[in-house]
Amino acid sequence: MRRLLNGIILSLLFILILNSTALATVGIENEVTAYLLGDYETGEILEEYNIYKPIEIASISKLMSYLVVMKQVERGFISLDDKVYIDEDVIQIKGSSLKLEEGEIFTVKELLEAALVVSANDATYALAKYVAGTEKDFVKLMREEAKAIGLESAFYINSTGLPEGELQNKMSTEDIFKLSRYIINEYPEVLFLTTIPYIELDNREYKEENTNPLLKEIKGIDGLKTGFTNKAGYCLVSTINIDGDYIETENLRLISIVMGTKSEEKRKELSKKLVQYGLNNYSKRILANENIPVDIVYMPKSKDKEIEIYPSKNFSIILKDGDYIDKDILIDEGLKLPLKSMDKVGKIVLSTEGNILEEIDLIIHKDVKKENLIMRILRNIKEFIVNVFKIDKLTIFRILIKK
């Protein structure tokens, strides 16, 4: 009876351990307003908390400002080499800045770098005025772009993210993710800007480091934008490219968003924790490679007998460590020889927990011919002798040689 009771207790403990593992989370929910970890390529959200509520975004607004400027460049209305005159209006802008002075001239490219690298409000405002004439008209362009790419929660009142009374720019964390993906896809050169370590002006004593605290912390981090206001808290959109080995894994780019932390140090700590969670738990697994055979099929009437079969296409998927994938190989019945290279011979079904992920045709990579009639007769004779007289193949070979 005691043994039975002990067995039941151990079983219950085992179940509890399994459940606690299955329900494990990133563990930063109580220290942020929201967070999101997602895959850049597919848009799949891997981990999330409170991502649908519109919240203050502070200088993360500058991602949309960057997008608007680049759209104007793409459409030919302005150039990255255009010269922008800094007027009295620009130098009144508060907060983090390039410390612009009236009468200075910068290129559009230089001001974009300052906006993204050191989160310069004055540089962003100068761009807004240059592109649209007034910041008010620039905000109209921001709203138009948000609508065009489906950012339903976006609410913009200025180009910088600075508070205006009780109002501030807002977006949901989900929409920040969408915007980040869109920018990296449309303008991948943004990642060259967001990895610039510092901005330095030779004509005066100005040197400010990149505001992204993870650039020096985690190898592979190459973006994207910080933000802070009293309402928004300390925020960070970061992105990292993880190199695959192209045998078992492919490259994976993650986007990590942490919103509303209490301090710069907490922003760094919690953002690092979220990125590291992604690195430790997720990979883009190669489940089918069109150049690697998945099985060998025995075809007794063929010349080669054992035929390698291959997936007709590549297939990869993001998996969390511990996820199990079922691979069921189904060979077509009634296959008739000869077969030609690239002929379909079956399919592989990839599934997890009963849910089918993908069905992929299986093909051959070389012609499969029928075995020559004489060779088939000789083989049948050999098999008959082996089976009847229990003589091994080597002995048969020696007998044939002697004769």
Q: Which of 61, 62, 159, 180 is catalytic?
A: 62
The Cβ of residue 272 has, within 10 Å, a number of other Cβ atoms equal to: 19
- Cα 215 to Cα 218: distance, rounded to the nearest angstrom: 6
Tell me, what's the pLDDT at 25?
Answer: 75
- Residue 125 sits in the same domain as residue 52: yes
pLDDT band at 7 (very low <50, low <70, confident <90, very high): very low
- Residue 276 sits in the same domain as residue 393: no
DSSP string, 11-56: HHHHHHHHHHHHT---S-GGG-SEEEEEETTT--EEEEES-SS-EE
- Residue 274 sits in the same domain as residue 316: no
393 is catalytic: no
Please report, in range form, the residues annotated as the binding site for substrate.
Answer: 225
Residue 322 resides in a domain: yes
- Residue 347 sits in the same domain as residue 390: no
- Residue 276 sits in the same domain as residue 300: no
- Residue 90 sits in the same domain as residue 138: yes
- Residue 302 sits in the same domain as residue 249: no
Where b means 16+ CB within 10 Å and e means fewer, 38-68 reads bbbbeeeebbbbbbeebbbbbbbbbbbbbbb
Please report, in range form, the residues annotated as the binding site.
Answer: 225
Q: Which of 59, 96, 256, 316 is catalytic?
A: 59
Tell me, what's the pLDDT at 304?
Answer: 83
- Cα 270 to Cα 247: distance, rounded to the nearest angstrom: 32
Tell me, what's the pLDDT at 12?
Answer: 38
- At 325, the amino acid letter reads I
The single residue listed with the structure tokens 């330095």 is: 200
Domain extent for 342: 289-363
Q: Any idea what the CATH number is for the domain that residue 315 is in?
A: 2.60.410
- Residue 213 sits in the same domain as residue 172: yes
Tokens of residue 245, six digits: 């080995």
- Residue 324 sits in the same domain as residue 394: no
Residue 4 resides in a domain: no
Instruction: Report the candidate in 21, 17, 259, 211 with the shortest Cα–Cα distance to residue 114.
Output: 211
Number of domains the chain contains: 3
366 is catalytic: no
Q: Which of 65, 97, 119, 271 is catalytic?
A: 119
Pairing label, strands 326-331, 344-352: antiparallel
Is it the case that residue 15 has pLDDT exceeding 60? no
- Cα 165 to Cα 70: distance, rounded to the nearest angstrom: 29
- Residue 146 sits in the same domain as residue 228: yes
Q: What is the pLDDT of residues 128-137, one digit of tens each?
A: 999 999 999 9
The single residue listed with the structure tokens 């610039």 is: 196
- Residue 147 sits in the same domain as residue 234: yes
DSSP string, 177-188: HHHHHHHHHH-T
61 is catalytic: no
Q: What is the pLDDT of residues 283-319, one digit of tens each?
A: 999 999 999 999 999 888 888 889 999 999 999 999 9
State mean pLDDT over 260-278: 98
